[in-house]
Amino acid sequence: MSGGQPETKIARKGIAVAALLLTASALALLRPAPAFSQETELRGEVSESAILADQQRKARQLRAQGTQDQNPPAAAAQDTAPTTYQPASPGAVPNDDQTAGASDSIFDQPPAANDPLAGTTAPAKLRRPSTARQRTQDAKADTKASTKIADKKKTKKKAGEATDSTTTAATASTGDRADAAAAGDDGSNRRAVTVDSVGKQKLDPGQERTGSIDGQKVKPEEDPFAAPGVRIGTFVFRPTLEQGFTATSNADASSTGKSAVLSETALRFTATSDWRENSALITGYGQFRNTVSGQKINDAQGRIEGQLNVDLDNELRAIAKLGYEAAPESASSPDAIAGVTQQPLRQTVDGSLGLEKSVGKMRYALTGSVSHDLYGDAELSDGTSISQKDRDNTLYTATLRTGYQISPALTPFTEVELGRRVYDQRLDTEGFERSSKRIGARAGVELDMGEKLSGEFSVGWLREAIDDSRLPAVAGPSINADLKWSPERGTTIGLTGKTSVETTTTAGESGDILYSGRLTGERQIRANLTANSALGLDWRDYTGSDGHDLILSAEAGLTWWLNRYAGLTTRVRTEKLTSNLPGRDYTANSVYLGLKVQR
């Protein structure tokens, strides 16, 4: 019996130890623990701050595990007596309240009197230690680590490394989120903030991509029906062809004119240079009229003119012009010959060369010009002809202009003109010496307000003294104007005025002064519909008599573009001449309808 009692006691102790181990295992299984998937985030790349926080957490766990290995519980050294259970989880410690005698579990009952393990101390209740202080220390450590990383990045940036603003902003944002995650509970997901969340950050406006060119709003053309032109060398050539029919009450605009239906063909063109510094412009037109029914008309007229602008050194500019014009003598001209089948053809060749100089606000211009007129023979109805060679003459003029620029938009000026008219024949068929001397003076102002108002206006006196003492000088006031005014976009109003001396070979007469004025208006009603109108006034004052002519005219028209290359055009015109000389009055009304094509 004495030998069996120790064995029985040992068996009881083994059973008790086994029961304690089963109880501790059950408590460990009942302890809530975060899922492994929450402890570790395996989704994509992680930020540097999150990785550093995770490494620090693992280092603290390893340090705690090493401390427990170096200081094992004293009860574990006993071989025979059971001791208080110490969990293997790092950081877990016995509950102080439990060791003090607090009873919070059904397993903490006083031992029985006959219990062989009554002398054994009850195992202490286990609980998770408070981690508030540990979290505070971890947050401070993570903050210091993030600060060191930021300092290293700043040092690299100062050394010259280019840092993308978008990446910097994303890294800073990720670091803040990682610090907040590290300062949280140990069981929280420390890697929830990854590079994936950086892509959700707003980009710097300067780093965003620009939309495609196809998506950009295209600026509309100012004149979508303007001629596109054809490039020929360094010039852009824009031709226009107009074909139509005119019904008129006075075919040749004379006191004896009759009604007719005329076929009219007009060709116009402009050629503009595409040079870098200097510029050139060539313009021309040709008009042909033929009778379809009524009074017989078969004539042609046209003009071509070129202008070259060259910028020289020292604020010096040169302007050269050259032109040629051919047109039949007008039936309403004072020199018109009655009883002819066709008026004589007048040809004019003219040219000029001018130099402009700016000195401070002073403006100087010197222009020399030459104009030569040639007259063809007049064909009479009986088949004979009358020579007009005695009317051929050449006019030479020199003009000096001086101006002062008050402002870029206003430049007053004065102008002096000297000239000489020379006839090819010193004496005409009546024996008069028709050559003359010319002198003129004008004062005016130049306007330059851009598209709103531009041009010039001047008034003065013009005199042309004939060499033959039997003929008085042709003299009178001089008025010249060339203004363009645009009160609003799409509307242009123009005013032109010109004073010219008309010579004659009529016996005993010196000639006359003709004042011509035109007021024009153009309105773009729609992009493809343009309206135009014109008012004209001509006053002719005969020298040596009280004779005069007054010519009034009015015109209105429309142009409707079918597309960019073709359009329909129409106009209505009336003209009336009133004179105190016999046989000169007439009235002419006409209607035109045609097709215009351009390129």
Per-residue pLDDT tens over the stretch 22-32: 776 666 555 55
pLDDT of residue 255: 87
Q: Are 64 and 138 found together in one domain? A: yes
Residue 30, in any domain of the structure: yes
What is the signed CA dihedral for 149, 150, 156, 160, rounded to 10 degrees?
160
Residue 231, in any domain of the structure: no
Identify which of 403, 309, 320 has the alpha carbon closest to the alpha carbon of residue 364: 403
Residue 402, in any domain of the structure: yes
Q: Are 372 and 323 found together in one domain? A: yes
Point out the domain boundary residue: 202, 227, 259.
Answer: 202
* 331 three-class SS: coil
Q: Across the chain, what does the average pLDDT equal?
A: 78
Q: Are 198 and 253 found together in one domain? A: no
Q: State the number of CA atoms in the 13 A half-sphere of 390 facing the CB.
A: 16
Which of 53-62, 371-380, 476-485 is the most confident on average? 476-485
* 171 three-class SS: helix
What is the signed CA dihedral for 518, 523, 524, 526, rounded to 10 degrees?
-140
pLDDT of residue 55: 77
pLDDT at 336 over 70: yes
Which comes out higher in pLDDT, residue 493 or 7? 493
pLDDT at 532 over 90: yes
pLDDT at 145 over 70: no
Digit-coded pLDDT (tens) for 340-361: 877 889 999 999 999 999 999 9
How much of the chain, in percent, has pLDDT values that exceed 70? Answer: 66
pLDDT at 89 over 60: no
Q: Report whether 478 contacts 460 (CB < 8 A).
A: yes
CATH code for the domain of 251: 2.40.160
Q: Are 443 and 327 found together in one domain? A: yes
pLDDT at 548 over 50: yes
Q: Are 65 and 135 found together in one domain? A: yes
pLDDT at 529 over 90: yes
Query: What's the Cα-to-Cα distance from 309 to each of 217, 306, 321, 499, rounded to whole Å?
Result: 37, 10, 9, 26
Residue 591, in any domain of the structure: yes
Point out the domain boundary residue: 183, 202, 221.
Answer: 202
Q: What is the DSSP secondary structure assignment for residue 433, as one 8-state letter? A: B
Amino acid in the structure at residue 352: S
pLDDT of residue 70: 52
Q: Are 386 and 460 found together in one domain? A: yes
The pTM of the full predicted model, rounded to 2 decimals, is 0.64
Average of pLDDT values for 398-414?
Answer: 95
How much of the chain, in percent, has pLDDT values that exceed 90? Answer: 49
* 180 three-class SS: helix
- Residue count of the chain: 599
Q: How far is residue 120's CA from residue 106's CA, in Å, rounded to a whole number?
A: 18
* 27 three-class SS: helix
Q: How far is residue 245's CA from residue 591's CA, in Å, rounded to a whole number?
A: 8
Residue 179, in any domain of the structure: yes
Average of pLDDT values for 590-599?
Answer: 96
Average of pLDDT values for 510-516?
Answer: 94
pLDDT of residue 598: 94
Digit-coded pLDDT (tens) for 252-308: 888 888 999 999 999 999 999 989 889 999 999 999 999 999 999 999 999 999 999
Q: How far is residue 61's CA from residue 66's CA, in Å, rounded to a whole number?
A: 9
What is the tally of structural domains in the chain? 2
Which of 237-251, 329-343, 501-515 is the most confident on average? 237-251
Digit-coded pLDDT (tens) for 113-122: 444 444 444 4
Residue 14, in any domain of the structure: yes
Angle between helices 48-70 and 165-182 (to 10 degrees): 30
Measured over the CA atoms of residue 248, residue 249, residue 254 and residue 256, the dihedral's sign is: positive
Of 6-15, 35-44, 537-546, the one with minimum mean pLDDT is 35-44
Instruction: Tell me how crowded residue 438 is: count the other CB atoms within 10 A of its CB.
Output: 19
Identify which of 599, 535, 596, 588 has the alpha carbon closest to the alpha carbon of residue 264: 596
Q: How far is residue 26's CA from residue 20's CA, in Å, rounded to a whole number?
A: 10
Which residues form the domain of 61?
4-202
Residue 234, in any domain of the structure: no
Average of pLDDT values for 165-184?
Answer: 44
pLDDT of residue 214: 58
Point out the domain boundary residue: 202, 233, 264.
Answer: 202
pLDDT of residue 471: 93
pLDDT at 42 over 60: no
Q: How far is residue 178's CA from residue 184's CA, in Å, rounded to a whole number?
A: 10
Q: How far is residue 364's CA from residue 482's CA, in Å, rounded to a whole number?
A: 20
Instruction: Tell me how crowded residue 574 is: count the other CB atoms within 10 A of its CB.
Output: 14
Of 175-184, 251-260, 553-562, the one with minimum mean pLDDT is 175-184
Q: Are 63 and 192 found together in one domain? A: yes
Q: Are 295 and 428 found together in one domain? A: yes
Q: Are 180 and 312 found together in one domain? A: no
pLDDT at 222 over 70: yes
Q: Report the DSSP pairing between strands 362-375 and 345-359.
A: antiparallel
Q: Are 194 and 276 found together in one domain? A: no
Average of pLDDT values for 210-216?
Answer: 58
Identify which of 446, 458, 475 has the alpha carbon closest to the alpha carbon of residue 543: 475
Q: Are 185 and 262 found together in one domain? A: no
Max CA distance (Å), the chain: 185
pLDDT at 324 over 80: yes
Q: Report whether 209 contacts 227 (CB < 8 A).
A: no
Q: Are 195 and 111 found together in one domain? A: yes
Residue 213, in any domain of the structure: no
Gyration radius (Cα) of the chain, Å: 55
Q: Report whether 321 contacts 304 (CB < 8 A).
A: no
pLDDT at 161 over 60: no
Q: How far is residue 571's CA from residue 592's CA, in Å, rounded to a whole number?
A: 5
49 pLDDT band (50/70/90 cuts)? low
Query: What's the Cα-to-Cα distance from 454 to each of 283, 321, 409, 494, 535, rounded to whole Å?
Result: 21, 21, 8, 10, 20
Based on the number of CB atoms within 10 Å of its own CB, is 70 exposed (0-12), middle (13-18) or buried (19 or more)? exposed
pLDDT at 37 over 60: no
Q: How far is residue 104's CA from residue 22's CA, in Å, rounded to a whole number?
A: 19
36 pLDDT band (50/70/90 cuts)? very low
